Amino acid sequence: MEQKKDLLFSTPIESLGDWTFDDKVAEVFPDMIQRSVPGYSNIISMIGMLATRFVTANTHVYDLGCSLGAATLSIRRNIKQDNCMIYAIDNSTAMVERCQKHISAYKAATPVEVICADINSITMQNASMVVLNFTLQFLTPDARQQVLNKIYQALNPNGILVLSEKFSFEDNMVNDLLFDMHYDFKRANGYSELEISQKRSMLENVMITDSIETHKTRLINAGFKHINTWFQCFNFGSIIAIKK
Ligand SMILES: C[S@@+](CC[C@H](N)C(=O)[O-])C[C@H]1O[C@@H](n2cnc3c(N)ncnc32)[C@H](O)[C@@H]1O
Ligand SMILES: O=C(O)C(=O)C[C@]1(C(=O)O)C=C[C@@H](O)C=C1
């Protein structure tokens, strides 16, 4: 994947609007997400390992909010079963266009359909694996339960949902510490105070974080009974939910 450096917020921006996944963001996204999300590349590799274990023959995989297709590519490399289909879905045209190029650049047995759509209005079925890798946090809080309900209904028995998110924490001291550690992580990756604060204010109204407890409650409400956090680094992490 291309690795153009993220310098989008390195100079003062006069009027900071709300965050969008536009062309400028899509262009630098691999560098941005790598330098912004602790554990991102581990999560991507391990989604591939989960695909080996959970994706069964003749089923569908859904990568919801696929951006440039990093999780899709990892899954596709690791599927060992025949006649599977991966649907990579995102509502940003800038992301989807680039994603299609990345997917087409490599040959593999499992086909991928890249779709530009809002995950609130898609239909899914016959799924052995669904991935929400840092996507649910961009849906309105009301829409989150609906999407999780739909995923549970679409999953076959023994199917898995991987839900990665930026978390908030109910204990204020822990919350402040883990958010500060994340800012230290960004500084260590070369982001300046200006870059950190401009991006933070753009994300403020758009990316609303939930606690792990809130995520678990929603997953239980959707029908899942087997739920656990499998990865966490500071205030970022990933939960698995398995349908039995
Ligand atoms: C942080 S990125 C996801 C990163 C990606 N999953 C990965 O592993 O590299 C969030 C993505 O969700 C997409 N997104 C946000 N809301 C969406 C929605 N309602 N429907 C579809 N995609 C959405 C954004 O366009 C963006 O590409
Ligand atoms: O919280 C932050 O500072 C982030 O940069 C997080 C985050 C995310 O979790 O999606 C936000 C936007 C970009 O997509 C990359 C990372």
- Convert the pLDDT of each residue in 131-167 to its tens digit: 999 999 999 998 999 999 999 999 999 999 999 999 9
> Does residue 17 sit in helix, strand or coil?
coil
* pLDDT of amino acid 125: 98
* pLDDT of amino acid 161: 98
ipTM more than 0.95?
A: yes
Ligand 1 atom 20, closest CA:
118
Q: How confident is the model at residue 210 (pLDDT cuts 50, 70, 90)?
A: very high
Instruction: Report whether residue 94 contacts ligand 1, using a CB cutoff of 6 Å.
Output: no
DSSP classification of residue 203: H
* pLDDT of amino acid 15: 85
Amino acid identity of residue 41, one-letter, is S
Instruction: Report whether residue 69 contacts ligand 1, using a CB cutoff of 6 Å.
Output: no
Tokens matching residue 46: 């391990």
CB neighbours (10 Å) of residue 108? 12
Summarised one tens digit per residue, pLDDT across range 168-184 is: 999 999 999 999 999 99
- Cα(157) to ligand 1 centroid in Å equals 26
> Does residue 169 sit in helix, strand or coil?
coil
* pLDDT of amino acid 241: 98
Instruction: Report whether residue 165 contacts ligand 1, using a CB cutoff of 6 Å.
Output: no
* pLDDT of amino acid 229: 98
Instruction: Report whether residue 32 contacts ligand 2, using a CB cutoff of 6 Å.
Output: yes
Instruction: Report whether residue 36 contacts ligand 2, using a CB cutoff of 6 Å.
Output: yes
The kind and range of the H/E element at 161 are strand 155-168
Amino acid identity of residue 44, one-letter, is I
Q: Among 44-48, 92-96, 139-143, 161-165, whose mean pLDDT is lowest?
A: 139-143
pLDDT at 3 over 90: no
Tokens matching residue 144: 């989150």
Q: Is the pTM of this model over 0.90?
A: yes
Rounded Cα distance, 123 and 147, in Å: 10
* pLDDT of amino acid 53: 98
- Cα(56) to ligand 2 centroid in Å equals 32
